[in-house]
Amino acid sequence: MIHKIGVLTSGGDAPGMNCAIRAVVRAGLAYGLEVYGVNDGYRGLVDDDIFQMDRSSVSDIVNRGGTILQTARLREFKEESVRQIAVNNLRKRGIEALVVIGGDGSYMGAKKLTEMGINCVGLPGTIDNDIASTDFTIGFDTCLNTIVECVDKIRDTTESHQRCAVIEVMGNHCGDLALFSGIAEGAEMIITPDHPIPEEEIFASLKKLHDAKKKRAIVIVCEKIYPDIHAFADKIGKATGFECKAEVLGRVQRGGAPSASDRVLAARMGAYAVDCLLSGKGGICIGIVNNKIVDYDIYEALSLPRDKHISMLRLIDILK
């Protein structure tokens, strides 16, 4: 039976991380555990920036974006000697297990810590939805709604000026934010790593729209496909006749109050993570699959194909 657990957030922040922290803390306390917060992700473990949390530590945070524990990406955590410092810091406080809320980059650290004797459970906290072992990550829904809100605004002015808007959204190398927002917006074109479109085809389709006197065109593009989205928009302008403007939505996508859906997802996953630790599990990550909360071994999770929403790609072509 464990008595003390820790919780940290790692990688890019995501709306709903606070709800996940709250769920871990409140569930841990409900089961009589001592719960410790770690600031700054894995860096806080190494720097011994660890503090005890109580009920009030997580009051009034369900509606707050970001993460009250702060976050970081610590490359050095790949080194065993660095992880050993973290393990020593946890052991001296008697913390036996840890919940790591972050992207799949953070999962490997959680697995390695488990192999060094600290049972860890990973919760998928990232806007990118790029974790294969879960249908949805905490933060994705909020981010998607933020994108849709922004694109709604951009399309107003795009139509008034009869322009083409090329809108770059986040997602790292995962096209889900582009795919879902593109479908939600009825975008004329959606370009993702799983749905690349040759430049000539892009130009020809948009020129056809322009020649047919279409008032505006919305193109949603996943980040990291075009090294210079502004140069790409200029090329579209020259090739199609549309006046074309590039918009990079940037980090506005990561902020804001979490959606109800993300709050509930985070609550379910956070409580489940504590259940797993109490039953002695470690080296696992939590997911939601067909609306059921599940857990996977982290190595298995990291080897799964990232094709969970691939069937939606057909919508791009049949709804355009």
Closer to ligand F6P by CB, 69 or 127: give it.
127
Q: Is residue 102 at the binding interface for ligand F6P, with CB under 6 A as the rule?
A: no
Among 212, 152, 160, residue whose Cα is nearest residue 187: 152
Q: Is residue 171 at the binding interface for ligand F6P, with CB under 6 A as the rule?
A: yes
Q: Is residue 103 at the binding interface for ligand F6P, with CB under 6 A as the rule?
A: yes
Interface pattern 211-230 for ligand F6P (x via CB under 6 A): ------------x-------
128 assigned to active site: yes
Rounded least distance, CB 100 to ligand F6P, Å: 15
What's the token pair of residue 56? Answer: 């009030």
Distance CA 292, CA 275 (A): 15
- Could you say which of 19, 154, 170, 286 contacts ligand F6P (CB under 6 A)? 170
Q: Binding segment for ligand F6P among 31-39, 88-96, 120-128, 191-199 (CB under 6 A)?
A: 120-128
- Could you say which of 40, 128, 185, 194 contacts ligand F6P (CB under 6 A)? 128
Q: Is residue 123 at the binding interface for ligand F6P, with CB under 6 A as the rule?
A: no
What phi, psi does 113 have (nearest 5°)?
-65, -40
Rounded least distance, CB 310 to ligand F6P, Å: 20
Rounded least distance, CB 218 to ligand F6P, Å: 20
Residue 51 neighbours by CB distance under 10 Å: 12
Q: Binding segment for ligand F6P among 165-173, 185-193, 209-217, 289-297 (CB under 6 A)?
A: 165-173
Q: Is residue 146 at the binding interface for ligand F6P, with CB under 6 A as the rule?
A: no
Distance CA 240, CA 255 (A): 35
Could you tell me which residues are beta bridge partners of residue 190? 220
Query: Per the residue annotation, which of 13, 40, 128, 176 is the catalytic one?
Result: 128
Q: How many CA atoms lie within 13 A of 315 on its CB side?
A: 16
Please report the DSSP string for 175-210 in residue order: -HHHHHHHHHHT-SEEEBTTB---HHHHHHHHHHHH
Yes or no: say if 263 and 22 are a contact pair by the CB < 8 Å rule: no
Closer to ligand F6P by CB, 188 or 262: give it.
262
CA distances from 110 to 242, 282, 283 (A): 49, 9, 6
Helix (H) or strand (E) holding 300: helix 298-303
Rounded least distance, CB 279 to ligand F6P, Å: 30
What's the token pair of residue 267? Answer: 């609550």
Q: Is residue 175 at the binding interface for ligand F6P, with CB under 6 A as the rule?
A: no
Q: Is residue 306 at the binding interface for ligand F6P, with CB under 6 A as the rule?
A: no
Q: Binding segment for ligand F6P among 37-45, 90-98, 122-130, 193-201 (CB under 6 A)?
A: 122-130
Q: Binding segment for ligand F6P among 145-153, 170-178, 231-239, 291-299 (CB under 6 A)?
A: 170-178
Q: Is residue 127 at the binding interface for ligand F6P, with CB under 6 A as the rule?
A: yes
Yes or no: say if 19 and 141 are a contact pair by the CB < 8 Å rule: no
Distance CA 51, CA 21 (A): 14
- Tell me the chain's radius of gyration from C-alpha atoms: 22
Distance CA 239, CA 241 (A): 6
Closer to ligand F6P by CB, 126 or 145: give it.
126
Can you give the binding site for ligand F6P, defined by CB under 6 A?
Answer: 12, 103, 126-128, 170-172, 223, 251, 254
Catalytic residues: 128
